[in-house]
Amino acid sequence: MTQQFKAILWDNDGILVNTEPLYAQAVQQVFDRIGFVGDAEELYKHYTIRLGTHVWDPVQKQLALSEEDVDELRQERDKNYEILLDQGAPIIPHTEEVLKKLRPYFSMGIVTSCQRKHLEIIHTQTGFFQYFDFRIAREDFVQTKPNPEPYLLAFKKVEALHATPLQKNEILVIEDSERGVISAKEAGMTCFAIPTSLTKDTDLSRADRILESIEELPSLVLSSHTCCGI
């Protein structure tokens, strides 16, 4: 069996679970309470998903907030988000069946800008951790996506799992956002993008391939012999 890839790295929000709308909802709840007029989903798409910064930039400027004020708003958002997650983290359709198919043939890891506590809440519900060798969360790196640091850190973890040296292009990254694609490509890896409703209008042109659904993945990364045997 010949495989182009030896490992697959997965983004979390928008790829494994549809939690980005919940995050935007948690932000909107804060906006509504403090009287800030703004669409949290649109600001989230622009600042967080596309630029890799945060939605508090325009809030801080408009309301003349201090850094301490913004930190308190972030904490309030986090509490809102955790309440929403506790009510159920929506799984992307067909994700688990795809993970089951791929797990026997690849080293796999989660590489996310999600806070570790939120990642734990999400996948305590999904049970997906069983399919992964490691997970990298926001607390594990200094520079977040689109900086390549998260995926360069993941490369070291993948290398440790393999007896022979790996080339970075032997690692496939699955992303849904512009900043995620840039991070993966700047790290020297192959990247397939699966855009969501929040990311479909962003620039994913640097992705090596754009998929319509996660269901397409097994046939692209497994040989026909392997696929027939699944």
pLDDT digits (tens, 9 = 90+) for 59-98: 999 999 999 999 999 999 999 999 999 999 999 999 999 9
130-to-2, 96, 100, 108, 166 alpha-carbon distances in Å: 25, 11, 10, 10, 24
Question: Confidence band (pLDDT; 50, 70, 90) for 4?
Answer: confident
% of the chain with per-residue pLDDT over 70: 95
Nearest to 197, CA basis, from 9, 12, 42, 26: 42
What is the rounded average pLDDT for all residues in the chain? 92
CA gap 104, 8 in Å, rounded: 12
> Please, what is the angle between helix 20-34 and helix 67-86, to 10°?
130
Q: Where are the domains of the chain?
A: 7-18+91-229, 20-86
Instruction: Determine if the pTM surpasses 0.85.
Output: yes
CB 210 within 8 Å of CB 204: yes
* pLDDT number for residue 166: 93
- 7-18+91-229 fold: Rossmann fold (3.40.50)
Taking 50 as the threshold, does the pLDDT of residue 125 lie above it?
A: yes
- In 65-175, beta strands by DSSP E: 107-111, 134-136, 171-175
* pLDDT number for residue 3: 53
CB-based contacts of 122, cutoff 8 Å, min separation 6: 12, 17, 19, 85, 89, 114
Report the length, in residues, of the chain: 230
- Put residue 94 in one of left, alpha, beta given phi > 0 → left and psi -120 to 50 → alpha: left
Tokens of 205: 């042109």
> How confident is the model over 139-150, as pLDDT tens digits?
999 999 999 999
* pLDDT number for residue 54: 82
Instruction: Give the residues across from 227 on adjacent strands.
Output: none
